């Protein structure tokens, strides 16, 4: 290879490397600061829950936040979880009016 071809290949390689690093690969994407890994089996007093967040990855879960700031992860298919989310949603819509 001559010098011109080598320099061109190095520049192209650096460009691809820089672009890939700037965008990041799927494996290097950071997860949320707090995400559910383990799910609690305990029922939480609905009156003490102030918000929730749904997640699909790494496990399907609902993260409830209590009035004390405690975050509790539970399975979203439980009846009490569905009831708690509906209650929080109603509270949110009533505050907006």
pTM of the model: 0.63
Are both 52 and 91 inside the same structural domain?
yes
Are both 15 and 45 inside the same structural domain?
no
Are both 1 and 46 inside the same structural domain?
no
What is the pLDDT at residue 21? 43
User: In what helix (H) or strand (E) does residue 61 lie, and over which residues does it extend?
Assistant: strand 61-66
Are both 50 and 75 inside the same structural domain?
yes
What is the span of the domain harbouring residue 7? 1-30
Are both 52 and 87 inside the same structural domain?
yes
pLDDT band at 83 (very low <50, low <70, confident <90, very high): very high
Q: Tens of pLDDT along 24-79?
A: 444 444 445 678 999 999 999 999 999 999 999 889 999 999 999 999 999 999 99
Tokens of 61: 């879960």
DSSP state of 31: P
Are both 37 and 66 inside the same structural domain?
yes
């Amino acid at each position: 290879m001559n010098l011109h071809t080598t320099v061109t290949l190095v520049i192209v390689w650096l460009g691809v490397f820089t672009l890939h690093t700037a965008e990041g690969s799927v494996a290097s994407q950071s997860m949320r600061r707090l995400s559910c890994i383990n799910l609690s089996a305990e029922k939480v007093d609905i009156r003490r829950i102030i918000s929730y967040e749904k997640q699909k990855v790494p496990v399907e879960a609902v993260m409830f936040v209590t009035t004390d700031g405690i975050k509790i992860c539970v399975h979203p298919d439980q009846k009490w979880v569905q009831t708690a989310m509906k209650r929080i949603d109603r509270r949110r819509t009533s505050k907006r009016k």
